[in-house]
Structures are given as structure tokens and as C-alpha cells.
Structure 1
Amino acid sequence: MNRLIHMFKRLLPAIFILFCAQSLFAQKVVRYELVLKDTLVNFAGKQKRAIAANGQIPMPTLEFTEGDTAEIVVHNQLREGTALHWHGLFLPNKEDGIPYLTQKPIKPGTSFTYRFPIIQNGTHWYHSHEGLQEQIGMYGNFVMYKRADDKTFRKGIDDLPSVPIVLSEWTNLSPDNVHRMLHSATDWFAIRKGATQSYAEAIRSGHFKTKIKNEWKRMLAMDVSDVYYEKVLMNGRNSTELKSIDGKPLKAGDKVRLRIANGGASSYFWLRYAGGKMSVVASDGNDVTPVEVDRLIIAVSETYDVVVTIPEDGKAFEFIATTEDRTQSSSYFIGNGEKQYAGALPRLKYFEGMKMMNDMMKMNGDLDDMGMNMSLQQMDMNVVMYPEITGEEKKKDKSAKNKTVEADHSKHNMPDNENKQNAGAGEHEMNTDENPDRYNANALSDIVTLNYSMLESPHSTELPENAPVKELKFTLTGNMNRYVWSMDNRILAETDKILVKKGEILRITIYNNSMMRHPMHLHGFDFRIINGKGEKAPLKNVLDILPMETDTIEFMANEEGDWFFHCHILYHMMSGMNRVFAVDDYQNPYLPDKAKAYRKLQRDHNMPHLMAENDFASNGNDGSAMLQNARWSLGSEWRLGYNDMHGYEIETHLGRYIGKMQWLMPFIGFDWRYRKMGIDEHEKNIFGQVNKKDNRSAVSLGVMYTLPMLVNFQAEVYHDGIVRLQLMREDIPIAKRLRAGFMVNSDLEFMGDLRYIFTRNLGIRTHYDSDMGFGVGLFLNY
């Protein structure tokens, strides 16, 4: 015994040193320095401004092991403020990186240090949360590895060689310009995609009635994404070859774990693999029980970890990300040898989508799911547009009314065992009109598509039974015509913070009453998706909720602070689809005046947008300009005559849009005109009222209302009692690039026009105006 005691005393210093070393290792500080600079890039044929970190786009991959302490120094050498958000991380609220919610923006020429413990693991990412900077390069992978002694460590999964991949998209337009164009309801992006759905295209496709019904319900053309992008990228490149990992060549039978983050600003991506099925092993940084699929769609800001296997030697198999609108793709070729392609996805059947949308939309703008109780991505209405699931589009033809038009799958040389990923039901006609599973891709085809009902946590995620529960309900609302996105028809600028007590369980039910998908992201917490898996409900921090779906999530608010909850489509978020959960009365050292900062945050998510257009015609000059935010509109129209009409006319209106669909706008107006025509100085309108048309200054009250067929009806009463009624519609889509318009009012004035669109800012226009006569000229818009 004495000998054992003596030996223990001799070993005690070594044991103490070892214990200290382990403690120091467990608390290792991992430091990164990020230098942010403006740069020029040429991703899509034009040199454009971007933001690089340490000279690279995407930003560097940041890697940690659970138990580390992260210390990230951001040196802002931009000409504007910035901040970085650590997407999906559990951290003190002051480190969350949201300008005017958790910190002030990092000023130009200054540095800021983020420091927080790494208390989780998994695939995450990071990005700017300042303005629209995320669109132009400020995104990167953030990977936290499990410790080898972690009880949740999965052999054959967590020890596989892994490759972080961040998906992104690139536009040659500035993001501010993109945002403004979306608010101006331009269809330039649809022209670039070949998705205009004009009347000529509708007639050729046998969908004239579908088009009429669509506009009768006051809807614009069908689309699945907002923006056209010139390029999509994986880790900053359009195509990459992965032949080895850590110097070891890849060969048949090798498995690779792809850690994929969707860092796109507004693009969803279909993920497919030419080498067979993919095994989904994690989502949003949280383990899931492996599930094998042929494909999955990754929402904006989501992360998925998938394991792929190299089936054959001497071949490189394509892992491909394709935008939801199927206009662009990016690829990783995994393996060595001849490239094996997954194949191009066929063009969407847009008029089938329009028909579906007509059936779902009520005349008041609400959606009707017809009792299907949609949830968890199991029923995707857009499946009617997928030829590989529901068959090829049928077009009218003199020789055969229902001739099937085959999609072009010849773009890539597909291996035989992968033909089914693109063929599916496309080889035969499939009538799904009366099928109760008509929107269930997995029921309609042997192509296995991932949805949230298939996700299960490998361990219990149950919340404490004795914790108080706070139930909330949100309805996601939106207006594509004016590009206003909201929750319960209220934007962030119209709401206060939602007060939450620390330790409460928040159970949130969300219904999507819009025709767009919305990836709803919660900062600071993971939530359980209630998907029928009981105690093993999966954990995520992004809920991609499809149109007409109702989903429920829950989490425990166990960390103080002001936490953002928002749609992660960048342009939806900046248009107001946000809320803030205030957990207890957190005193943020970076924001001594939180109320003032919150008002600034609200303004930043309801910015005004300027739109203008002008026609330089042979008979005169006419145009308009508008400054609009989510609710208010200040607009002016002007006309300047060259020939018979010598003079000018300016009408200005200040109005506020009312209602969820914003079809109604009361306004006050001012009409100022001077003309020296020599005749008809005083004219009568249809009401018999005398209208001094040639020299008039008048204040008015009025209202504008959007009628079926997207015709604007305007009623206006001037201070001198004159009444004017007017019907007008612009941008009637006659053909892909041809637009028409008309105006008629109770002053017996009328106008009709045709315009042909050359570029997003330039076209040619011809019109006849009752005052100005016939003219033709160049049409410019901004």
C-alpha cells in the first residue's frame, strides 16, 4: 500500500500537468482575421464590383472543433459599414452580427472582434447582414467538428473525408438595382429566363383561357424565383473537379461527405448526383438518421450534409446544383476519369403552373388549399410544372391537338442508370387533375425527393414538460405586383418586438398565404419541426415553407437577447418579412439606446425605391417617376407637346396603399397644365362640367383601385368640383418582348400604345394620344 501511495505522489505532478493541458486544449482559442475590401470580379462576362475577404470570394472557410473559443477579427476596409452574422450558431446575443439589433455597423476603416465559445457542431455558414452585401461576395462556410470522444460521433459518417461547399449566384446588376427592379414589377428577369407567358405564347400553348383567368384574378405571370442570375457557383467556381482529398486519389467505393450551405441571396437549388443516390445525414448542422434520396431542393440559407459514393473507377461523377427555375447550374465532378453527367433538368411547364395558381387563388387574393392540409413539403404545387414527374408539356398543333413535346435531354451525356432522374413520368402523359396525390412528387414518380416528413433526429429532442408554453401564429403574406412581403400583413416597420420570457417554450404555427416559398430562419436557436417523429423530431434553424402549407415549430428561449426571425430570401427580408423575439430585457453593451437602434433597423427594411420612365417621341415627350416604399407612393406624370399641343402638363399624386393585396390607394393630387392650342380653351367632360383644359392648377382627392384584368380605375375630384374617372392599363404582354397599353377617361381623353423591349432600360414605342396625336420614339426606363 505504501508503495502505491508513493507511486501516486510521484505521478501526481504529471497527472496535474496532463489535466491542465487537456483543459487548455478544450478551451483553445481559434483566431481568424478577415480583411474586407472592394474588388472587381468577372464571373459572367463583365467586370463588376464585389466584396472580398482576404482577397477571396467566397470568404474563407472557418473551421473549429466543439469546445474551442472563436475569435474573429473583422477589418472593414470598405467605404460602407458592415457586420457578419454567424448563421445557425448558439452564441451571446451581442455577437450575432445584426446591425442596429445586436451591434452598430462596423465603420469603414475600423476593426471589430467577435468572440464566442463553440458549443455545438455541424455545417453552418456566415454572411453579411448589412444591406444587400450578401449578394456580392460576403458569404462563407463555417464548420464545427465533433470531438472524437463525442457520444454522438457516428463511425462511417463523422469520420468520412468532407468537403465544405457554399452555393451562390451572381448577377451583373448591382443588388440595389435588382431590388428596385423587383419593386417596379418589371418583367425583364422573366424575359431573360424565357418565362414571360405572354398572350401569344399562351395561344401557341393552348392556354389562352388560362391566361385570361390569371389576369382576371389580378395576378402576374407564374414564376418560381424572383431574379435571373447570369451564373451560379460552388465555392466561387462554376465547375470544379474533386479528384483527391488530402492527397489521396478517389476511387470506386470511396465515400465523400459534402457539407453544403446555400449562400445564395434568393435562389433555391436542386441537388443531384450522377453516381446514384445521396444519403442525407445532417440538416442545418444537426444530425439526422440517414435517408437515401435521388434529389433534394436546398432552400436559401439551409445546409445539408450528404454522403455520396464513387461507384466506378475511371469515371468522375457530377454533383450538380441547378436553380429552381432551371436556368443555371454549377457542378462538382467527383472522382477520376471520364465525366458522367447527371443531365439537365427539362424546362418548367409555366402555363401548367399558371393554371394551378388560378385554381388556388381566390378573387380576394387569399389561397385555397381545397382541404389538402398541406405541410412539411410533402405536397409541392410546383410539381405540375416538372416534366420529369408529371409528363411533358402538351402544345396545340394542327396535326395533333395533344401532341407531346419531348424535352431536350441531349445537353449532357447521361449514364443509363441516371436517366430516370430526368425522365420519370416524362415518357407518358399523366393526368393528375383528380388525383389526391397530384402534388406529391414521391407518389407520382419513382424519383425519391427529400421532404421534411422524412427527417428524423437520431436522438431525443424533446423539450422540458414543465416549462411554460407561449403559442404564436403567423400568416406569411405578400404582394408580387408591388413586391411587398410581410407577416400578418405587417412589415417590420409596423411592428414592435415580440416579448418572450427566458425559459419559455415558443410554439409557432406558420401558414404561408402567398404563392412563393419562404425559408424562415431563426437566429440564436434551433427549433423542432413537428413532423410526426415524436421525441425524435428533427432540429433545424431554417423552415422552408411552401405555398399554402401550415407547419409548426417549437424551441425553448433559454438565451437572453433580441433575436431575428425572418425570411432568408434577401429581397423579401429587406422588404419587411421579419420579426424580432425579445427574450427578457437584455442590456446590450453595444447598443445603449436600443429603441433608437430598432427604429433604424425598421427603416432599413422599408427603404424607398425610385422608378422613372420617359418616352422621347416624334409628337412629344411623356413620362413618369415614382418614389415608393411598402405603403406610400409619391408619383408624377408629365407630358410635353411638340406639334398641335404647345405646352405641358404635370400630375402629382401622394397616396397610401391599403389592404393585403394593395389594390386600393387613396391619394391627394395636384394637376398643373399649360397649353396654347388656340381652340377649346374650355371643354366639357361626360358629366357636362366645364374643364379649363388649357390653363389649370388644381388640387384633388382621389382613389385608385386595381380591377380584374389588372386595369387601374381612378376616380378623382378636384377642388373646383370637376370629377374625372379613368381606366388605364400598362404592360399588357402581347408577345415575349411586345407590350401594349391604353388609357381612357371622362374628359374624353384617350391613348393607346405599343412598345418593344430591347434591353432592361431601352425600347421603342409608338402611340396615339388624343391631345398629342400619333408619335413614335425611344422609350427609356430606370
Structure 2
Amino acid sequence: MRNNTIILFALLLLTSSAIKAQKVVRYDLYVRDTIVNFTGKEKRAIAVNGQIPMPTLTFTEGDIAEINVYNELKEGTSLHWHGLYLPNKEDGVPYLTQMPIKPGTEHVYRFPIVQSGTHWYHSHSGLQEQMGMYGSLILKKKVDDLTFRKGIDDLPQVPVILSEWTDYKPENVHRMLHNASDWFAIKKGTTQSYAEAIKEGHFKTKLTNEWKRMLAMDVSDVYYDKFLINGKTESQLSQFKAGDKVRLRISNGGASSYFWLTYGGGKITVVANDGNDVVPVEVDRLIIGVSETYDVIVTVPDKDTSYAFLATPEDRTKSTSIYIGEGEKKAADLLPKLKYFEGMKMMNNMMNMDGTMDDMGMSMSMQKMDMNTVMYPELSASPKMEMDGKMDHSKMNMKSEEIDHSRMEHSMAGMKSDKMDMKDAKMDHAKMDHSKMDMSSKKSKMVTLNYGMLKSPTKTTLPKEVAVRELRFELTGNMNRYVWSMDNKVLSESDKILIKKGEVVRITLYNNSMMRHPMHLHGHDFRVLNGKGDYAPLKNVLDIMPMETDVIEFEANADGDWFFHCHILYHMMAGMNRVFSYEKSAPNPLLPNKEKAYKKLQAESNALHFMAENDFATNGNDGQAMLQNARWSFGTEWRLGYHDEHGYESETHIGRYIGRNQWFMPFIGFDARYRKLDHGEVEENLFGQSSTKDKRLQVSLGFNYTLPLLVVAQAEVYHDGNVRFQVMREDIPLTKRLRMAFMVNTDREYMGGLKYIVGKNMGITTHYDSDMGVGFGLNLNY
């Protein structure tokens, strides 16, 4: 008995010592409204402890993090610890792992630090991340850690967080995206109008693009006023001298911007990704996806010179730099503007008339083939491929000192687009004809990082004796209506995905949209199956490019509900997300009504978006208002004349979009009209039916269908048996700012008009209406 008491006492002492040995690191974070001025205009933002970005939080593996959040906003908030392994209730997703932190209250996040690496943290409430709620999160290794790498982990380290700023309210940005506003393209100079197409010799390209019911080509969604590194457009690290090596811990805290990273002082050595070590790989440049992190090492080559580490957004509208070293500044080469019509032509050849991507026989994965490369002028001298279904090596000039097959970016730049027939181009490397590839250009030596080049320094294999759950998701989207989904379902249309603790979950992702998507899994790292076998790299964000198919897998070793979503903020809020839920999870004390909370989460990513416009013209007023979400549309339009012979009319439609491309929308309609006709005047429609233009109050059934050239056909039958068929289009881009519209129907009504876009919410118009005549006016829209 006495021996048992001694053993028990010893165990208690050891446990007590272990608990005391864990260092509690506490931060107090005060979330407040603030005013910023990045562009010469004062705008509302959200600051934490009075700063944007939020304070850098630093811990060492083995610490206990205790973070006290004081919400001094007038709205709820939250903080998510991106990339961290932690208890589910600490993950910081409102309505999934906790309720929002209410205004005027305090919330404590407390969790052990069980990993190392470069991470970041941000609000997961609404669109607050876009307004300044993002910051670096650095988890250091212990010096005696077995994975500690001399010459890497002991270098001087600088946290770097990339972001962007817009003077527009994020809610307004989201609404404009859903309403297909051209304003961002106008601001970026990427409108791709017919006049610009003719000037560039791409009229046929533009016509084909619209024939296949596609809008203009773009690589990013939003126009941003500024791009920032650590909250500034430009800064300098003057403490470093010639010969110094610097480790930059880079996080992309942008809401929707990818960044190209280049260095004016030479090569970049990548040593970690998403907080996980990789075997060092030397590159000329890399693109960092939204929410990804990279650790890179750069060297200061010469004294009296500071070298730009340049971050350029994917759309190349602006850039931001941090200069490393002291003395005269040496800039990195700026990336030239994209060749959008070349990208449009490529997409035309890849897109079928039914809106699906053409199966080119490719097995693209791991970013090895960037389909946007045709738009990169700096690579225009890289390998040229004749897309005739085969390649002949006989005429290739492949100098061994210039080509490294393991690192070569499989570029499609320089394609002879007029000779491309993607339907016949089967990219089977065994049959490729290399006869017209010229690889002697110096440009071919440029090495761009892709996932196939990443390798873990340690084995990452998962248990082989456990069950494997196979899942497949197709990433789908509708750029015309800005709906983003998985398997053509938004979160509000899907249930949680049940998984079992102890199994391996293997996910195949296929991107069948024309945008990149950085897919992020909360609370877990996953293996990226990139051909490195047992040494496959670990990540928590997978940037998957158009037409790629990638496979990831993770061990289900946690508990609770975990978010899986596209980390482009506006894609996530438009529905591209899912929830993995562990079976038989313990109750979450922070969610008193779990089912009700989940319904709120679902509703948040399928909100209704409002738009309205009115044309104040000399011959009357006409306009429309609309509420829409992923599936439903509630719209009304009106025409109000100034005289009795013009009268008034209004049409209201309640419809639901059907199908993957949402070209088809059946609706219920309500039609009210009044016009004073001359005594005895009778009008008939093209079907010989009597018109009811003088006085109409009717219910109808009908549908809209989007035809080639983005023309909307509308068929409608009224309760009195009258039938109407109509075709129309409102937004034909003639020039950068000039838009044309037309309408004609079987009631013998027709309209043609022009609008010149003056500003975000204003245009100058002229139109002719068969009922109301010629008018000139001012268009105001919201």
C-alpha cells in the first residue's frame, strides 16, 4: 500500500512539473473600428490594437496560447487560426465551431502549440478580413528539435504578410460581382470590348467568346486601389548587409489576390510551404495562392544596394515591394500586362457549346501546366508547340545547361493560336511532335515553382492498415452570375460530410471552372500526391488551376466539424464550401443549438443580393430592381411615360435558375399596363391575338433562356391565353465604356439604346422605344 502511495505521489509530481514547464503565452487583442487613408480618401476599416495588419503573434512549439479578444465593434466578430492543429471549439468559425463574439464582450481562445511554421490568422466573420483583420502567426521550433535545420531555421527571419485594399465597402464589392458590373474591368483596363478586339486583330476571338456564352476573360475578380506588404506599399529592411541571407516568412492575407513573387537580387530558395518544411528548391519566381504561406531565403548580393522583393498581383495592375539591404534601391523587373485576347482565344478552343471544358486528353495536375501562360508576354519566347497531336524531337534545340526537365514550367506560351484546334490536340507526351519547339531561348531558363517540385524532408505516409474513404469534388462556377459551388451545389444545398476518426480520407479535386481556387482544410494538413511517394509534401491549402485534377489525403485524427472551402473570400461567401463532420463527436459547449447555428452558416453563403437602376430620360423613366441568390431571382422592371398615350407598364418575375450553367430560368410573372389608345384603335401581336396594352393586369408563366451571343430569349403565356416571345440583350460592349442594348418581341415592341459608363453608379444614355419614342437621359444604378 505504501509503495502504491509513493508511486502515485511521484506521478503527481511529474504531471505537475510537466504542466508548469509549458509556458503560457498571452496576447490581448482589442478589435475596433478605425479610419484609414491608403488612397487619399478616409475610409472605415477594422484595426486590432490600433494597427493593420493585426499584431504578429509569436509562439514556440510546446507553448500554451492564450488569446483574449475584446470585441469593441458594433457587430459580431471571430478569429480563425489558419493552418493550426487545435481543439475544434478553438477554430474560430462562427456558427460552426463557436457563436460570433458579441459586441462589447470578451472571448478567450486557449490551445496548445503542437507544431511549428509560418501561419496567419484572420476574421472568419462576414467580409471583415477584407477590412483589415489579418495578421502573421509565427510558430518557432525549439532549438533542440530533431527537425531543426542549421543554415535555415537559425537565419534572421522577417514575417511578411501580403494584402490588398479597396476603398469600396466589401459588401458592395460582393454585390457588384453578383450583378456582373463592368466597373472593375474598366478600372483595370481589361474590358475586352469589340473595339479593343478589332484593334488587337481579335474580332473573331471576341465573337466566338460571346457565341459560347462567355463573358470577358479575367484572372481576378476585384479591382484594388492598393496592394500592401506588412500594411505598406513599400518598405525597407536596411539592417541587412552584403552576403546576408534572410528568411522571409510570407503569408498571403489577401481576400482574393494571388501574388507573383520575384527578387531583384537573384534566385529565391523555397524552404517551407503552409508551415511545413520542404527540401530546399531554387526558383526564379513563384505564385502564392490566396491564404498560402511560403518560407523563402534570399541573399543580399552586393553592398551599398538594397534589392526589391516584389509582389505583383496576378492581374498585374499594380505591385508592392520590400527592399532588402542598405543603399541604392534596385528594383525587380516589373511584370508586363497580360495579353487577354490570347487567353480568350485559348479558352474559346477549350470550351464546348454546352459550357463544359473540352477533354483535351490531358492529365494536368500540380500546377505543371499553367493555362494562363499564353497571356504572359515575358514568356513569349518560351517553347512553342504545334498542336497537331504529335511532337517530333528532331528539330528541338535542347541544351542540357538550359533545360531542367524536373523544373521546366510546361508553358503553353507562344502557341500559334490560329493553328490550334484543342479538340484535336491530345496532349499525350508519347505522341508529341517537338519539331517546332525552340528551347534555346534564354527565357526557357526561367524556373517557376510548381507543386510537383515540393518534397518533404521526412516521410509523410499515412497508416496503411486503416480504411480509406474516397471522395471526389468537382469545382464548379458561373461567372455570369458569380455563383461558386462544389458539384454544382452551394453550402446551403448540401449536408455535412460524415467521416470517421481513424480513417484516411482521400479527395480527388477537379477544377471545371475558369478560375483558380485555393482550397483550404481547417484543422488538418493533407498530403499532396505529387509523385514524391513517401515524401509527398504536407499542405493545408491547395491552389488548383483550371482543368486540373489533383489528389490529396489526410488522416482523420480530430473531432468536431471542420470547414473545407475556397479561400477567395468572395468565392467562399458565394457558396464554394463544405463541412467535414466527425461521427460521434463530443458536444461543443460553445454551440448550444448546433443545428440552428449550421443553418445560419448555410444562409450566410447564399445571401440575397440587390441591384437597381433607373434611366431618367426625356421621354420617360424606365428601370429595374432585382434580388437574387444562387438559385432564385425576384425582379421587376418598369416604364413610366410622361403622357397618357405613353402610360405605364411593369413586369415582375419570380424565377429559379435551373441547370449547371443557369442559362434556363422558369418563372411566374405579373404584368400591369395602361396606355390611352385612340378610340377604336386595336393592336394585334404577331400571332394575331388582340393586344391588351391599353389595360392589362395579368398573371403569366414563362421562362428565360440564354442563347449564344448572350442574348436572352423569353417565352411567356398569360392567363388570358395570349403568348409573347422576346429576345433582348443589355450589355453589348462596343468600347471600353460604351454599351449597346436591344429588345424585340412578338407584341410588335422594340427598343435600341446606348449607354456610356461615366462612373461606378452613373451613365449617359440614349434610346429609341417603339411606344415612347426617342429619349436622352441619365442612368443611375446601384
Instruction: Give TM-score, length-normalised by structure 2.
Output: 0.91
Deviation at 1:233, TM superposition (A): 0.3
Sequence identity percentage: 69
CA contact (8 A) 1:282 1:306 kept: yes
Is residue 186 of structure 2 the alignment partner of residue 187 of structure 1? no
Give me the whole-angstrom Cα distance separating, in 2, the residues matched to 1:138 and 1:59: 6
CA contact (8 A) 1:682 1:693 kept: no
Deviation at 1:227, TM superposition (A): 0.3
Deviation at 1:682, TM superposition (A): 3.6
Deviation at 1:23, TM superposition (A): 3.8
Is residue 86 of structure 2 the alignment partner of residue 91 of structure 1? yes
**Equivalent position SS for 1:445:** helix
Give me the whole-angstrom Cα distance separating, in 2, the residues matched to 1:298 and 1:225: 14
Q: Which residue of 1 aligns with 2:717?
A: 717
Deviation at 1:45, TM superposition (A): 2.1
- Name the amino acid aligned to 2:491: L
Is residue 552 of structure 2 the alignment partner of residue 557 of structure 1? no
- Name the amino acid aligned to 1:608: L
Is residue 325 of structure 2 the alignment partner of residue 335 of structure 1? yes
**Equivalent position SS for 1:690:** coil
User: Structure 2 residue aligned with 1:368, among 335, 339, 358?
Assistant: 358
Is residue 647 of structure 2 the alignment partner of residue 647 of structure 1? yes
**Equivalent position SS for 2:513:** coil
Give me the whole-angstrom Cα distance separating, in 2, the residues matched to 1:539 and 1:680: 80
Q: Which residue of 1 aligns with 2:59?
A: 64
Q: Which residue of 1 aligns with 2:406?
A: none
CA contact (8 A) 1:681 1:694 kept: no
**Equivalent position SS for 2:323:** strand
CA contact (8 A) 1:644 1:772 kept: no
CA contact (8 A) 2:370 2:410 kept: no
Instruction: Give TM-score, length-normalised by structure 1.
Output: 0.91
Q: Which residue of 2 aligns with 1:742?
A: 742
Deviation at 1:467, TM superposition (A): 1.3
Deviation at 1:643, TM superposition (A): 4.6
Deviation at 1:170, TM superposition (A): 0.3
Give me the whole-angstrom Cα distance separating, in 2, the residues matched to 1:755 and 1:390: 37
Deviation at 1:431, TM superposition (A): 4.3
CA contact (8 A) 1:243 1:336 kept: yes
**Equivalent position SS for 2:652:** strand
Is residue 93 of structure 2 the alignment partner of residue 101 of structure 1? no
**Equivalent position SS for 2:774:** strand
Q: Which residue of 2 aligns with 1:268?
A: 258
Deviation at 1:673, TM superposition (A): 1.1
User: Structure 2 residue aligned with 1:153, among 138, 148, 154?
Assistant: 148
Of the structure 1 ranges 751-760 and 431-440, higher mean CA displacement relative to structure 2 is found in 431-440
Is residue 532 of structure 2 the alignment partner of residue 542 of structure 1? no
Deviation at 1:372, TM superposition (A): 1.5
Q: Which residue of 1 aligns with 2:402?
A: none
- Equivalent residues in 2 for 1:301-700, closer than 5 Å: 301-391=291-381, 431=416, 445-586=444-585, 587-643=587-643, 645-678=645-678, 682-700=682-700
Deviation string for 1:206-257 (max 9, x for gaps)?
A: 000000100000000000000000100011000001011xxxxx11110000
Quick one: structure 1 residues 690 and 268, their matched pair in 2 at CA, closer, same or farther if it must change by over 3 Å? same
Deviation string for 1:276-326 (max 9, x for gaps)?
A: 000000000000000001100000000000000000001000001000000
- Name the amino acid aligned to 2:568: I
Quick one: structure 1 residues 735 and 441, their matched pair in 2 at CA, closer, same or farther if it must change by over 3 Å? farther
- Equivalent residues in 2 for 1:17-56, closer than 5 Å: 23=18, 26-56=21-51
Deviation string for 1:529-584 (max 9, x for gaps)?
A: 00000000000000000000000000001000100000000000000000000012
Q: What are structure 2's unaligned runs of at least 5 residues?
A: 1-9, 383-408
User: Structure 2 residue aligned with 1:252, among 230, 242, 247?
Assistant: 242
- Name the amino acid aligned to 1:352: E
Deviation at 1:373, TM superposition (A): 1.1
**Equivalent position SS for 1:582:** strand
CA contact (8 A) 1:391 1:425 kept: no
CA contact (8 A) 1:281 1:288 kept: yes
CA contact (8 A) 2:185 2:223 kept: yes
Q: Which residue of 2 aligns with 1:752?
A: 752
Of the structure 1 ranges 583-592 and 573-582, higher mean CA displacement relative to structure 2 is found in 583-592
Deviation at 1:17, TM superposition (A): 15
Deviation string for 1:103-139 (max 9, x for gaps)?
A: 0000000010000000000000000000000000000
CA contact (8 A) 2:234 2:322 kept: yes
Quick one: structure 1 residues 561 and 768, their matched pair in 2 at CA, closer, same or farther if it must change by over 3 Å? same
- Equivalent residues in 2 for 1:129-148, closer than 5 Å: 129-148=124-143
- Equivalent residues in 2 for 1:162-173, closer than 5 Å: 162-173=157-168
CA contact (8 A) 1:252 1:310 kept: yes
Is residue 297 of structure 2 the alignment partner of residue 298 of structure 1? no
Give me the whole-angstrom Cα distance separating, in 1, the residues matched to 2:533 and 2:17: 38
- Name the amino acid aligned to 2:92: G
CA contact (8 A) 1:388 1:425 kept: no
CA contact (8 A) 2:646 2:771 kept: no
Quick one: structure 1 residues 102 and 680, their matched pair in 2 at CA, closer, same or farther if it must change by over 3 Å? farther
CA contact (8 A) 2:368 2:410 kept: no
Deviation string for 1:307-353 (max 9, x for gaps)?
A: 00000001000001000000011100000011111121101000000
Deviation at 1:187, TM superposition (A): 1.1
Give me the whole-angstrom Cα distance separating, in 2, the residues matched to 1:380 and 1:753: 40
- Name the amino acid aligned to 2:146: K
Give me the whole-angstrom Cα distance separating, in 2, the residues matched to 1:429 and 1:487: 33
CA contact (8 A) 2:671 2:697 kept: yes
Give me the whole-angstrom Cα distance separating, in 2, the residues matched to 1:304 and 1:766: 53
Of the structure 1 ranges 20-29 and 496-505, higher mean CA displacement relative to structure 2 is found in 20-29
Quick one: structure 1 residues 681 and 590, their matched pair in 2 at CA, closer, same or farther if it must change by over 3 Å? farther
Quick one: structure 1 residues 125 and 681, their matched pair in 2 at CA, closer, same or farther if it must change by over 3 Å? farther
Quick one: structure 1 residues 495 and 701, their matched pair in 2 at CA, closer, same or farther if it must change by over 3 Å? same
Deviation at 1:197, TM superposition (A): 0.4
Give me the whole-angstrom Cα distance separating, in 2, the residues matched to 1:771 and 1:763: 23
**Equivalent position SS for 1:319:** strand
Give me the whole-angstrom Cα distance separating, in 1, the residues matched to 2:261 and 2:455: 20
Deviation string for 1:127-164 (max 9, x for gaps)?
A: 00000000000000001000011000000000011000
User: Structure 1 residue aligned with 2:191, among 193, 196, 212?
Assistant: 196
**Equivalent position SS for 2:683:** strand
Deviation at 1:441, TM superposition (A): 13
Deviation string for 1:464-519 (max 9, x for gaps)?
A: 11111000000000000000000000000000000001111000000000000000
Give me the whole-angstrom Cα distance separating, in 1, the residues matched to 2:551 and 2:654: 41
- Name the amino acid aligned to 1:445: S
CA contact (8 A) 2:251 2:292 kept: yes
Deviation at 1:678, TM superposition (A): 3.1
Is residue 750 of structure 2 the alignment partner of residue 767 of structure 1? no
Q: CA RMSD in A?
A: 2.3
Give me the whole-angstrom Cα distance separating, in 1, the residues matched to 2:361 and 2:415: 23
